[in-house]
Structure 1
Amino acid sequence: MTSSDSVYSAFQTTAQSYGDRPFLHIPAVAAKAYADHAIDLTYGAALHEIDALTARYGASGLGLGDRVAVLLDNRAEFFLHWIALNALGVSIVPLNGEATVDDLAYIVGDSQPRFILALSSRRELAEKFGLPVVLTTDLSTLPKGTTAQAAPGPRTECALLYTSGSTGKPKGCILSNEYFYVMGDWYRNLGGLVSLKPGAERLLTPLPLVHMNALATSAMGMILTGGCIIQLDRFHASSWWSSIRDSGATVIHYLGVLPAILLNLPESPDDRAHAVRFGFGAGINAKHHAAFEARFGIALLEAWSMTEVGGAAAVIAQYEPRHVGTSCFGKPESFMDWRLVDDAGQDVTKGSAGELLVRRAGADPRAGFFSGYLGREQETAEAWAGDWFHTGDVVREGPDGSLHFVDRKKSIIRRSGENIASLEVEATLSQIPGVQAVGVAPVPDEIRGEEVFAAIILSDAAGKNEDTARAIVRAAGETLTYYKVPGYVAFRDSLPLTASQKLQRGELKTLARQLVDDGTAFDLRDMKSKSARKTG
């Protein structure tokens, strides 16, 4: 990248070559909440709107180093305003409109944005945080600033994405223009089963733009190759295949939960009536992998990365043999260095499981990675101990050099693609009257990948019943976003503790699976369904 490079400049370059080609398509079914038709934008038309927005923002005094929180859902407005702000060196802080007020208040307070940019439909939520609110339909209310105008560069902050960590509260990952470029450049140069054809691909994703997969991977992959982003509002099983067929999708992005749901649909003669060449994703249940590919005729290519890592050390199984059904995510490429180490930091023998450490090959091991955790210099340094990024993921190397995902070293639960910190859930549950002690762990879930399990010691042992468990989950739901509340609760007389009275996470995880398998735990997953959330 040159000193003038940014997401905006990359988009501008593509628009000069592919101005008449489609940039964004939102199917009518995904836009029905706010429009009676599909949304379509070419690169040329999008650039025209972006430049007009950039002028408006620049006139208000916004500039290099400012941040703006955005409540824009998976809408065209997200792309247009993000790229327009990026042209000025302004970073966005994406907010998930489905999160709780408490979750969002923490992010807004931690990131310190100048104002919140919101859709009209999100106005009531946006006004809860004590900051100026600007609606996309009325930029005349933009607060005036005095930021000095300067051109953004590769290291300029482009977005601040929050990711759950083992410390409980989410951490703000600072992502630069370079990060986004490296992500897209990695994608477009993969080859093998991932050969993106310039100006021809149509990539469909149901994933939220508040996460790096949709915001960085799919968006930049298409922007750097002149492809079209087909952005759904969310995943809808009933309209999934019709959206793929009607939109002419050639690529899909998925999370592990999607194949499981789609395999449960009745078989149809149209199961293979599509133009999709491959799916890009992670976390598919091993026993669903081959079955999905055989039924639908789509190669699901498992990949590995993290918000902190981006494309700087990403891996994907784009070449055969892909070892379908073994949680294989491919072989590392020459642009990255990697190691598998034990708890003492020593390299494990080939075939043994160890924590994956990664870095960029060459003089700068952090090139293309995140720029650090906002306001957490010590945690950033710990993550980069010894100039290796410590992923917290446990991996093993197969005989042919392919890497296979085993488990997570961190106390993270990954449910339907969402990272849930056990400590955050424990902190909430421990404040509920009647809860004396609690331990939270993941348990396997065939549909969601993992589910939240809580082992609870009650102050009054007489309350060990399902009614009490449901009351605790309802109380937790007043603070936690719905997907973070326990799907299983088991009441215990004790928890597995170390000599220093700390939770033995490994023992708790084993115990959790046992209690779910033998039916001792109360199954409360019905309380997390959409209908239950509306009526609860």
Structure 2
Amino acid sequence: MNAHVTTGPVVAAERMSDDPAVPTLSQLLAQRAQDCGDREFLRFGDGSWSFAEIDAWTSRLAHRLIEVDDVRPGDRVAIMLPNVVHWPVAWLAVLKAGAVAVPVNCAYQRSDLAFVLKDSGARVIFTDDVRSGLVAEVLAEERDLAGVRVVDVPDDGSERFPVAAPQVPVAAETLANLQYTSGTTGFPKACMLSHGYWVRLGWICAGATGLGADDVLLTSQPFSYMDPQWNTALALTLGAPLVVLPRFSASTFMADVRRHRATFFYVLGSMPTLLYKQPPAAEDRENDLRIVLCSGIPVALHAQLEERWGAPWREVYGMTESGIDLVSSFDDAAAVGSGSLGRLVPTKQVRIEDPVEPGEEVPPGEPGELVISGRPMMGGYWNRPEATANVLRDGWLHTGDLVVRRPDGGIQLVGRLKDMVRRGGENVACAEVEAVLERDERIVAAAVVAVPDEVLGEEVKAFVQLREGVPGDRATAQELLERAGAQLARFKVPRYVEFVTDLPRTPSERVSKPALKARAAAEPGTTHDFARPRS
């Protein structure tokens, strides 16, 4: 078990704050093609491509974009593909052409796709035969999109072009992505991410993990989201292979980890819980895992996750807007089950500000908004100057996350500024209540929301997904609330409990509370009301 041996870290921890030697993704790929061109870079299913092969392919495709599609530096090119090798190839080719990639979620339908194409001003879109009909409909119906060209894959028309990269000036500050966030309400906003953002993100993650060229990275999230993209930047930094699964499947994920001899992966949201719910197997620890990064490790399961698969799981915090901000050390055993998000990476600074008095820091142990500056950082929201000014103030990113500084120096998440229940004169952080509920081994996941109350203004309601075999009756609900009441102030304990078979989630695995509320309104379930004396 865990017998994989590496040659040592590519980026020493003390060098995380250094500027990466290579400033752009395009140059980083070229460097890898030169110094380890025959090494495996990308693995999709049974297909494998070396750094040299991907470098040549992306150069040919960049020429095609310039010479056939008239793509010029700064033009936007959309990518609407599933997890196939053509996704990172299209991305890196777009960047070599000096253009800007616009990742598009494959789950988007007509209005979503039309919005992103018009908002970004995309001139070209990569897609496949599964989505080509939808793309054609949108382009035909939207007059503003009449000139958008379509590149169908797998035949991308690049074969006849030269393998030398086009001579297009690209620098660290050159815009690389319009990365649309997966917001749960309204249309998404596009974060402007530069080449330097991606290169530095790969560099810092290499330093934080201590990974080396002999490691094997694995990802299963949709490539249109951040995670496979920063995994690609990490693979380029290390000169190590990245294995990309078609999708996340809890029942087959760890078998794929063993089969591909992966030493590293990143999971978030419900993924750790879903993995742990799979029946234990004798071969669980027969893997090559060295390191797992995770966002949202269930506190009650943290030690059990490590014990079951025999590798350290550590929390990492970041946003599309800021890349990576906090990470728990793999040498810090005290982080296991602590709920800490970790400590600052050396290129970032942090303040914990009073939500009522912006600019004023709160004392240690008091909740406040996490405010971050440093690099990497987005350049702002595309076409959204007011939204940019609202979150980026004097170089400081206002995250909207409520945190407390722990006595050990770590930072712990307690909720979202906008994810609160205002019960009478008291504020209840939904995330705090959810964390307490999820410590109960009978609960898979919980989502806490505000519901109207004519006396108190709002009351606390918990939607609870139970483990298989646990009865979803009033007696269970009462037991869960009694246990939560031993850990929470009385006003924070939910009045209402509704058991659900699942919780609707965004593609980035966050619970979509607007979708949850809409579903509950359209298809009401049994709500157990535990009214208590007004206080």
Output the TM-score relative to the length of structure 2. Answer: 0.73
CA change 1:270–1:155 in 2 (3 A) is same
Alpha carbons of structure 1 residues 75 and 316: separation in structure 2 relative to 1, 3 Å: farther
Distance in structure 1 (CA, Å) of the matches to 2:198 and 2:444: 28
Amino acid at match of 2:402: V
2:109 to 93, 100, 111: 100
1:208–1:234 contact (8 Å) kept in structure 2: yes
Instruction: Return the alpha-carbon distance in structure 2 between the equivalents of residues 48 and 108 of structure 1.
Output: 28
Instruction: Give the C-alpha shift of residue 258 in structure 1.
Output: 1.8
Deviation by residue 1:320-360 (Cα, 9 ceiling, x = unmatched): 14422222121114322111111213211112221111111
State the one-letter code of the partner of 1:372. G
List runs of 5+ in structure 2 lacking aligned partners: 1-18, 140-144, 159-165, 422-429, 465-473, 482-493, 508-518, 524-535
- How far off its partner does 1:221 sit? 0.9
What is the match of residue 324 of structure 1?
Answer: 336
Worse-superposed segment, 247-256 or 519-528:
519-528
Q: Out of 25, 42, 45, which is 2:50 matched to?
A: 42
Of residues 404-413 and 236-245 in structure 1, the stretch that sits farther from structure 2 once superposed is 404-413
**Given that residues 166 and 410 in structure 1 are in contact (C-alpha distance below 8 angstroms), is that contact kept between their aligned partners in structure 2?**
no
Pick one of 273, 276, 297 that aligns with 2:286. Answer: 273
Q: Give yes or no for the alignment of 1:341 onto 2:353.
A: yes
Aligned to 1:393, which of 401, 415, 439? 401
The correspondence for 1:120, drawn from 129, 145, 150, is 129
1:315 corresponds to: 327
Q: CA deviation at 1:494?
A: 5.2
User: What code does the residue aligned with 1:78 have?
Assistant: W
- Counterpart of 2:248 in structure 1: which amino acid? F
Quote the residue 1:436 is aligned against: none
Do structure 1's residue 354 and structure 2's residue 368 form an aligned pair? yes
- What residue in structure 2 maps to residue 195 of structure 1? 210
Cα displacement string for residues 282-310 of structure 1 (whole angstroms, at most 9, x for unaligned residues): 01211111111111112111000100001
Q: Does 1:186 align with 2:198?
A: no
DSSP-derived class of the 1:224 partner: helix
**Contact 1:3 1:154 (8 Å CA) reproduced:** no
How far apart, in 2, do the equivalents of 1:19 and 1:495 lie?
69
The corresponding residue for 2:13 is none
Specify the SS of the correspondent of 1:175.
strand
SS of the aligned residue for 1:110 comes to helix
Deviations for 1:199-228, whole angstroms, at most 9, x for unmatched residues? 211111111212212212x11111111011
Equivalence for 2:222: 208
CA contact (8 A) 1:2 1:153 kept: no
1:175–1:370 contact (8 Å) kept in structure 2: yes
Amino acid at match of 2:210: S
Q: Deviations over 1:84-133 (max 9, x none)?
A: 11011111111111233333332222112002210222212222321442
Q: Is the 8 A contact 2:90 2:126 kept in 1?
A: no
Q: Which residue of 2 aligns with 1:427?
A: none
- In structure 2, the residue matched to 1:135 is 152
Letter of the structure 2 residue corresponding to residue 399 of structure 1: P
Closer/same/farther in 2, CA of residues 233 and 449 from structure 1, 3 Å limit: farther
Q: Which is further off, 18-27 or 322-331?
A: 322-331
Q: How does 1:114-513 map to 2 (within 5 A)?
A: 114-130=123-139, 131=145, 132=148, 133-139=150-156, 150-164=168-182, 168-190=186-208, 194-197=209-212, 199-216=213-230, 218-311=231-324, 313-343=325-355, 344-345=357-358, 346-360=360-374, 367-411=375-419, 444=434, 451=447, 455=451, 507=458, 510-512=460-462
> Does the alignment pair 1:70 with 2:70?
no
User: How far, CA to CA, are the matches of 1:101 and 1:46 in structure 2?
Assistant: 32
Percent of pairs identical after alignment? 29
In structure 2, what is the Cα distance between the partners aligned to 1:495 and 1:39?
A: 62
**Aligned residue type for 2:340:** C
TM-score by length of 1: 0.73
CA contact (8 A) 1:120 1:137 kept: no
Aligned in 2, Cα 1:91/1:452: closer, same or farther, shift over 3 Å?
farther
**8 Å CA contact 1:256, 1:449 repeated in 2:** no
Post-superposition offset of 1:277: 0.5
Q: Structure 1: any 5+ residue segments left out of the alignment?
A: 28-37, 142-147, 361-366, 414-440, 456-491, 498-506
Contact 1:4–1:152 at 8 Å: present in 2 too?
no
- Determine the structure 2 residue equivalent to 1:21: 39
Q: CA deviation at 1:528?
A: 5.7
Q: What is the CA–CA distance in structure 2 between the aligned matches of 1:512 and 1:180, rounded to whole Å? A: 38
Preserved CA contact (<8 Å) 1:252 1:279: yes
Other-structure match for 2:491: none
Matched AA of 2:367? A
Question: How far apart, CA to CA, are the structure 1 residues paired with 2:233 and 2:420?
Answer: 27
1:166·1:412 contact (CA, 8 Å) conserved in 2?
no
Secondary structure in 1 aligned to 2:30? helix
Q: Is the 2:461–2:497 contact (alpha carbons within 8 Å) kept by the matching residues of 1?
A: no
